[in-house]
Amino acid sequence: MKRTEFENLRIHDLRHTFASLLIKDGHSLAFVQKALGHSRPEVTARYAHLKDEATRAAFDHVGAIYSGKAKPAPALAHDTGPPDASDSAAA
């Protein structure tokens, strides 16, 4: 591996950061387990506390929206909600 200014950086550190960012972005522990190739959920469970932090931050943000201290974030493409009746009629 090429030397960088990050002398103590390990591949494991990058994997841990990757997993942490996935959890903080709202992905499930099962998704992170699959993404990292963990064979047992217990190995991935070390990231569970980050899920709590992400959930708390989301709740705080919703509270701030309703108190007028924040604006809603724009909807993501995958956040379209449940299909409505017109979607099932076309199928």
Give the tens place of pLDDT for each residue, 46-72: 887 777 777 777 778 888 888 888 887
Please provide the average confidence, as pLDDT, over all residues in the chain. 76
Q: Give tens-digit pLDDT for 5-14.
A: 777 888 888 8
Predicted structure pTM score = 0.51
**Cβ–Cβ under 8 Å, residues 3 and 20:** no
Number of H helices, E strands in the chain: 5, 0
- Identify the pLDDT of residue 75: 67
Q: Give tens-digit pLDDT for 20-48.
A: 888 888 888 899 999 999 999 888 888 87
Name the token pair of 20.
Answer: 């942490």
- Of 30, 25, 35, the closest CA to residue 78 belongs to 25
